Structure 1
Amino acid sequence: MSDIADRADWRIEKDLQNARAHIGKQAMLDSDGRCHFCDELVAHGRLFCDVDCRDDYDKEQAALRRVGAR
């Protein structure tokens, strides 16, 4: 008979597997010197010019996923 700790370990492992699978489905962005939302120049290694553009990009991508466009 399994106890609470065994069930918790099993649940954690399942959650980790699901998270790893989800990460593998997301496209990775490359830093190309431009903001991925507004196309402004950004410092080397950055993806967005500021937090607002990052958040707007995330919202746009979530909306596209909801309608099945991505």
Structure 2
Amino acid sequence: MSDIADRAGWRIEKDIQNARAYVRKQAILESDGRCHFCDELIAHALQFCNVDCRDDYEKQQAALQRAGRRVD
């Protein structure tokens, strides 16, 4: 029984390591008072003016990454 538990523990650790590596590769957006997608003025603590702009930005970045282009 310990073999199954050991393998499960190993798999969980591996998944956590992979998730952390993925997060470290992601670009960190700095809040500058403008929406990162449509350039509208927003509060300095925000990165996007609404959920639609955030989703569109993420779709755009994913498409650029799939195309092998530089991702901001």
Question: Which interval holds the TM-score relative to the shorter structure?
Answer: over 0.9
- Structure 2 CA distance, aligned partners of 1:21 and 1:42? 31
CA RMSD of aligned residues (A): 1.3
**Structure 2, unaligned stretches of length 5 or more?**
none
The one-character-per-residue Cα deviations of 1:17-68 (angstroms, maximum 9, x if unpaired) are 1111111111100000000000001112100000000000000000000000
Gaps of 5+ in 1: none
Residue of structure 2 equivalent to 1:61: 61
Report the identity percentage: 76
Q: 1:9 matched to which residue of 2?
A: 9
Stretches of 4+ aligned residues off by more than 2 angstroms? none
**SS where residue 29 of structure 2 aligns?**
coil
- Local SS of the residue matching 2:11: helix
The 5 A counterparts of 1:27-66 are: 27-66=27-66
SS at match of 1:68: coil
TM-score (norm 2): 0.90
Could you state the TM-score of these two structures normalised by the residue count of structure 1? 0.92
